[in-house]
């Protein structure tokens, strides 16, 4: 389980943010209100919930 990610905002999508954590990019799906508060290059910490399915693995925060 990944309970949080802490790193630099690399990209902001329609419903996700990509965070660079020591050279590894994590895509975290999140709300519009959270996305609106983020800026590229900003250092952030997002608490997450990992969802495992038969055909996918996703992080929500």
Residue 60 near residue 46 (C-beta atoms within 8 A) = no
Output DSSP code: residue 10. Answer: E
Strand (E) positions, 1-61?
4-12, 16-21, 24-29, 43-47, 49-52, 57-60
CATH number at residue 16: 2.40.50.140
Residue 32 near residue 39 (C-beta atoms within 8 A) = no
- Return averaged pLDDT per consecutive 10 residues of the chain, 61 residues in all: 96 98 98 97 97 94 93
Residue 39 near residue 8 (C-beta atoms within 8 A) = no
- What's the pLDDT at 29? 98
Q: What is the residue range of 15's domain?
A: 4-60
Mean of the per-residue pLDDT values of the chain: 97
Q: How many structural domains comprise the chain?
A: 1
pTM given for the model? 0.91
């Amino acid at each position: 389980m990944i309970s949080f990610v802490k790193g630099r905002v690399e990209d902001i999508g329609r419903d996700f943010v990509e965070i660079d954590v020591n050279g590894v990019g994590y895509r975290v799906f999140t709300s519009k209100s959270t996305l609106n508060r983020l800026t590229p290059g900003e250092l952030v910490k997002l608490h997450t919930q990992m969802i495992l399915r038969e055909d996918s693995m996703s992080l929500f925060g």
